Amino acid sequence: MGEIPVLPVAPTRGRLRPLGLDEVRITGGFWARRRHTNATATLGHCRDWMERVGWTGNFRAAAQDRVHRERRGREFADSELYKLLEAMAWQSGDEGTLDTDIAALTEAVASAQEPDGYLNTAFGHTGQQPRYSDLEWGHELYCHGHLIQAGVAQARTGGEGELTKIARRAADHVCATFGRSGIQGVCGHPGIETALVELARMTGEQRYLDQAALFVDRRGHGTLADIEFGRAYYQDDIPVRRATVFRGHAVRALYLAAGAVDVAVETGDDDLLDAVVRQWEATVARRTYLTGGMGSHHRDESFGDDFVLPPDRAYSETCAGVASVMLSWRLLLATGEPRFADLAERTLFNVVATSPAQDGRAFFYANTLHRRRRGAVPATGAASPRAESSLRAPWFAVSCCPTNVARTLAQLPAYLATADDHGVQLHQYADAEIATSLKGGHRVALRIRTDYPSSGSVTVRIEQSSPRSPWTVSLRVPAWTAGATACLTDPDGTRRHVAPGTAEVTRSFRPGDEIRLDLPVRPRWIRPDPRIDAVRGTVAVQRGPLVYCAESVDLPDGHDVDVIRVDPSVAPEDGPEGAVVAAGQVTAYDGRRDEAWPYRPFDGAAAESTADRTGIVLVPYHSWANRGPSTVRVWLPTVEPDRPAPPNSAPTGR
Amino acid sequence: MGEIPVLPVAPTRGRLRPLGLDEVRITGGFWARRRHTNATATLGHCRDWMERVGWTGNFRAAAQDRVHRERRGREFADSELYKLLEAMAWQSGDEGTLDTDIAALTEAVASAQEPDGYLNTAFGHTGQQPRYSDLEWGHELYCHGHLIQAGVAQARTGGEGELTKIARRAADHVCATFGRSGIQGVCGHPGIETALVELARMTGEQRYLDQAALFVDRRGHGTLADIEFGRAYYQDDIPVRRATVFRGHAVRALYLAAGAVDVAVETGDDDLLDAVVRQWEATVARRTYLTGGMGSHHRDESFGDDFVLPPDRAYSETCAGVASVMLSWRLLLATGEPRFADLAERTLFNVVATSPAQDGRAFFYANTLHRRRRGAVPATGAASPRAESSLRAPWFAVSCCPTNVARTLAQLPAYLATADDHGVQLHQYADAEIATSLKGGHRVALRIRTDYPSSGSVTVRIEQSSPRSPWTVSLRVPAWTAGATACLTDPDGTRRHVAPGTAEVTRSFRPGDEIRLDLPVRPRWIRPDPRIDAVRGTVAVQRGPLVYCAESVDLPDGHDVDVIRVDPSVAPEDGPEGAVVAAGQVTAYDGRRDEAWPYRPFDGAAAESTADRTGIVLVPYHSWANRGPSTVRVWLPTVEPDRPAPPNSAPTGR
């Protein structure tokens, strides 16, 4: 391990020590394919779009003071360039050099920085509003945060360069302007907090941490205006320490929580950490979709009330998924508890992996769990509205998600494993190689072989270890194995059942030793809590960590997904090519289109449905909408009584 | 009947002739109480709030060219004054004179009118944007429309006065500016169309009708910008004639449809009328709540896709209810079909009557069918956000609903009955007196006695009739009677069953003759179409036209409504004071709060619920939230299997 760890999150304290991109390499399988597409398609795609829609040009126009007339994009467009630069930095190690791109973009950014470190193309130039005149919506601190993250990524991947210098100047400006005696405000969009803490970790400079702590403490006291969405929208309603659940705009809530964990860890503030854990618990128990997605409302991209989880209006923004993974990872490092890795896995496979198209050049912004109408193919030449993308779109008017997916996939190897004084912990399963030093400089190396999540079999081979030093390999046994049987086989061939949580093997390993984990990935029915009203009377299928869905392209006769009912008394089975087949029936409603009124009085008993049973093909949710316009649903109505009106009740009865 | 009928809608053609406020008087019961509150509380409440929040002052400020600095409220605030003036005009006949108020408000309005007839306090003055520079959001034609409606109301209630003159000048300005050779645009918010047609009907001037027809035909061709909500938001996506269902912003869609019906009727354009009827049919069959409410989405106050009718996120804006009644009434007059009166009745009792508080000084803007969290009491001194009112609020930042309710209640007697060459048609039931002239000047008078909808018994007594001229009394038999038994008793005592639709009695009536209609208002279970995913596994109760709900204040032990399950195999029964009692059970979920994850794998069979049965009290939906903060639900989960996870499945299993 070098002096500067190649890590997106590098706490100086906490239960677990993260392993960096120089210690973990993903060598094949699900995530390797996605990272390859990210490197070879998505990064260039984002670069080209930002040039085309003028967001890169904004920096050049700002440098020449013609930005008021020429600026393109929303007030936060600058941040997309920074996120792309961050993604390029993390990905540059393993997919050839991206130095030329990074240098060109950095030059544009550098040209627009003011002498005092301020950098934003939407404020403060001739004909624009003054700096910090709109903290509610201006996103200036948010943009500075992403700039700082990009600078940190550069320093940790290739060493400090021009971008890192720009970022430090920006951070110094923020501290000078928003310090204890400065503007007593916060940004309408959190994000600066995690960035400042990471810069403090990188530089060792306390003042960045102090500023982050100040921002966390200032929020929740109503310094921002009371907008129509309410101050909960930007978490300025209740101080972080006193809140009990995440609320308001989901990305804002989760970025803030991640920043609060960073501050809590660095300052040893257990009360603050506990407050975030409590909010995470309540949110996971009551405000999270089966996919791990968060955010129920389109109106303000926000969390709903407890158990308000409509599948058809699931906003489940891709960026909220990214933010949730960021938060879960920080909580895992701080506490060592596998439940945080459980949620991260669910969210990575079912939200983050769902967003990009197979070719890496189109994205979901919102990730609905139910779509009734086949969408139109988005325009390829123009940015799409964010919430209405019916198929993945190449770019959005608000295009935060593509670059957020890109930087997450670029960082992904860093989320697989950690170390502590006792050994190595495996949190996510992928074909990978791990090499690190344990306590006392003991070098260890592990080779992970698996095609998880297609298979549940994971083999861990010890490649390097000193035979005189016992240490522990810990493996997460996912919570989704509950009620089924997971097994661990020791290097000596001993096989035992393992319960959800953590399974450990401790010994003086020798190179060639193998541990084998067998996870039960057969498809299973899932029932929702009865308090989730929107999915009453339905079930879903999960196979390992993957949520499945019915997609109209797999149905006979051109039907849409409203015709499906499934029989949960028959177990779903594996089908060809990763599909699952469930017993069910297809009931075409087309003949009922002409009912005048969709509510019927009834006085009689329910009637059983009599349609013939058939096999319903289900596919992984992350793969949907890759075969043209379609309809989709995750939650499937069951073949329970259809309860038509009795014969004496007219069909038009109201 | 005078020269100018006292009517909100006075078509020159159509199947039925409306009866005006000078021909129909509501003398008691449900609507008389609400109209009295409207006259004695709501009108003054609206007047005082508009003075307090500065919307009346905007007109005075505009007259003195200081409006740019001083203007208050949103761009459409002017329209609230006009709607209040309209409401005062319609109500002035039966609740004492409102002349002083009308004169004072009219003076303010008059002072702000430009020499060319243009009138808007948000555009065109020093420091403001130019006139018609923002057709998408400026609402200038929308405001002119409400001004014209107020002027028409004045002319039809007290004779043409100052307000009518202002309105005619404004209409002339609109025709001069947006005529065939004028600006080729439409307003982002329809509303001018109905107003211009009504002015044409009042004045006999064709050019107002031509202009309305032009606006209807121009829409749907993309002259407005393609905003993030899409052009469907303001119905500029598809021409009215080619559309198949209402879509986009619900109030905009329904006002436009009402205007299209007006144009179609006056110009004899059956194709246009048929197009609107087709859209109404599709919308009622697939996009309407049980309450008659329309609009599923908070994000853009819009219709959802077919069968997207979430009860908890029902927007069901009060103004959309008002607009739906306006449209249904026009379609009823044009076609004579009782289905339009059916929907109007449902919407009046369950949306329009739900909005105002019992004291007429607070209102619902959105009318949700399910609320899980007890709301806070809205501030009495400040305007509330429109969508988040948890209890009725006295005023809103966007306060379209209070004045819209006020003008609808003021007009209400005009929606009860019509006439044609053959007789009189009763569409809505209330204690009332009707007097009109039939063909050949035959004077007839009817006395309606009922306490509908508490009781289903309606007695129609003939008070005046010539014994030599046979004529017909037609009575709507509501569609909600389907599957139950409705009876009609003739003046000679003959009793017969009548089916949903229209029941008729034709004879040479003599004064003292009585017809009696007995409608089966016993409470009944209602099941939703299985395609309405959001209410699967639930039932509702309707009693006559009234939708019922469970409200937490009626539950034992301080429970909220998430604890209720009902047993639809037992018929609901009448309870005390208008309540209904349903068999069901109460299952407290509080002990389950700590489940880590709300989705469980399961492999076993379902288990029956075993909680004790109890009586669940339900109250009319329109009456909810009058007893302090509460939770509510219309759709009630049934006591079907609760399906807990089998014993071998850990409660935290994911």
- Residue A2's pLDDT is 42
Q: How far is A90 from chain B (nearest CA, A)?
A: 31
- Residue B654's pLDDT is 40
Nearest CA in chain A to B484: A649
- Residue B2's pLDDT is 42
Helices (H), B135-205: 140-157, 162-178, 192-203
Kindly calculate the radius of gyration of chain B based on its CA atoms and give it in whole angstroms.
Answer: 25
Reply yes or no on whether the pLDDT at B652 is more than 50: no
Are the beta carbons of B437 and B19 closer than 8 angstroms? no
Contact call for B483 and A542, based on CB within 8 A: no
Which chain B residues touch A543 with a CB distance below 8 Å? Answer: none
Are the beta carbons of B572 and B526 closer than 8 angstroms? no
Which chain B residues touch A480 with a CB distance below 8 Å? Answer: 601, 653-654
Q: Residues B148-172: what's their mean pLDDT?
A: 96
Contact call for A533 and B478, based on CB within 8 A: no
Which chain A residues touch B536 with a CB distance below 8 Å? Answer: 536-538, 637
Contact call for A599 and B527, based on CB within 8 A: yes
Q: Say if pTM beats, i.e. exceeds, 0.80.
A: yes
Which chain B residues touch A279 with a CB distance below 8 Å? Answer: none
pLDDT, tens digit (0-9, with 9 covering 90-100), for B436-481: 999 999 999 999 999 999 999 999 999 999 988 999 999 999 999 9
ipTM (interface predicted TM): 0.89
pLDDT, tens digit (0-9, with 9 covering 90-100), for B394-410: 999 999 999 999 999 99
Nearest to A371 by CA among A33, A97, A624, A649: A624
Q: Which helix (H) or strand (E) holds B84?
A: helix B78-91
Contact call for B596 and A385, based on CB within 8 A: no
Q: Which helix (H) or strand (E) holds A539?
A: strand A538-543
- Mean per-residue pLDDT of chain B: 93
Q: How many residues does chain A have?
A: 654
Q: How far is B528 from chain A (nearest CA, A)?
A: 5
pLDDT, tens digit (0-9, with 9 covering 90-100), for A525-536: 999 999 999 999
Q: How far is A434 from chain B (nearest CA, A)?
A: 28
Which chain A residues touch B527 with a CB distance below 8 Å? Answer: 599-600, 602, 643, 645
Which chain A residues touch B538 with a CB distance below 8 Å? Answer: 533, 536
| Amino acid type, B530 | P
For the four alpha carbons of A145, A150, A154 and A157, in that order, the dihedral sign comes to positive
- Residue B391's pLDDT is 85
Contact call for A372 and B306, based on CB within 8 A: yes
Task: Read off the pLDDT band of B603 (50, 70, 90).
Answer: low
Q: Say which of B397, B568, B649 has its CB closest to residue A483.
A: B649
- Residue A341's pLDDT is 98
Could you give phi then psi for residue B33, rounded to 5 degrees? -65, -45
What does the block give as tokens for A639? Answer: 């073949």
Reply yes or no on whether the pLDDT at B642 is more than 50: no
Task: Read off the pLDDT band of B92 (50, 70, 90).
Answer: confident
Are the beta carbons of B285 and A595 closer than 8 angstroms? yes
Specify the 3-state DSSP secondary structure of A638: strand
For the beta carbon of residue B439, count every other beta carbon within 10 angstroms: 12
Q: Say which of B308, B388, B482 has its CB closest to residue A649.
A: B482
Specify the 3-state DSSP secondary structure of A81: helix
**Distance of alpha carbon B19 from alpha carbon B2, whole angstroms:** 12
Task: Read off the pLDDT band of B594 (50, 70, 90).
Answer: low
Q: Say which of B299, B306, B373 has its CB closest to residue A305.
A: B373
- Residue B381's pLDDT is 78
Size of interface A-B (CB pairs under 8 A): 241
| Amino acid type, B218 | R
pLDDT, tens digit (0-9, with 9 covering 90-100), for B305-329: 999 999 998 999 999 999 999 999 9
Q: Of the ranges A191-200, B76-85, B128-137, B562-571, which one carries the lowest mean pLDDT score?
A: B562-571
Q: What is the DSSP letter of A624?
A: T
**Distance of alpha carbon A562 from alpha carbon A557, whole angstroms:** 13
Chain A interface test: which of B349, B498, B597, B634 (most A C-beta within 10 Å): B597
Q: Say which of A342, A484, A598 has its CB closest to residue B528.
A: A598
Beta strands B442-450 and B431-438, pairing class = antiparallel
Q: Say which of A228, A480, A569 has its CB closest to residue B654.
A: A480
Contact call for B527 and A600, based on CB within 8 A: yes
- Residue A648's pLDDT is 34
3-state per-residue secondary structure call for A590-613: HHHCCCCCCEEEECCCCCCCCCCE
Reply yes or no on whether the pLDDT at B38 is more than 80: yes
- Residue A647's pLDDT is 34
Which chain B residues touch A339 with a CB distance below 8 Å? Answer: 596, 652
Q: What is the DSSP letter of A341?
A: H
Q: Say which of A306, A397, A535 has its CB closest to residue B228.
A: A397
Reply yes or no on whether the pLDDT at B584 is more than 70: yes
Are the beta carbons of A8 and A414 closer than 8 angstroms? yes
**Distance of alpha carbon B239 from alpha carbon B216, whole angstroms:** 8
List chain A residues with pLDDT less than 50. 1-2, 591, 605-608, 642-654
What does the block give as tokens for B535? Answer: 């209410």
Contact call for B483 and A387, based on CB within 8 A: no
pLDDT, tens digit (0-9, with 9 covering 90-100), for A18-41: 999 999 999 999 999 999 999 999
Chain A interface test: which of B533, B603, B631 (most A C-beta within 10 Å): B533
Q: How many residues does chain B have?
A: 654
Task: Read off the pLDDT band of B86 (50, 70, 90).
Answer: very high
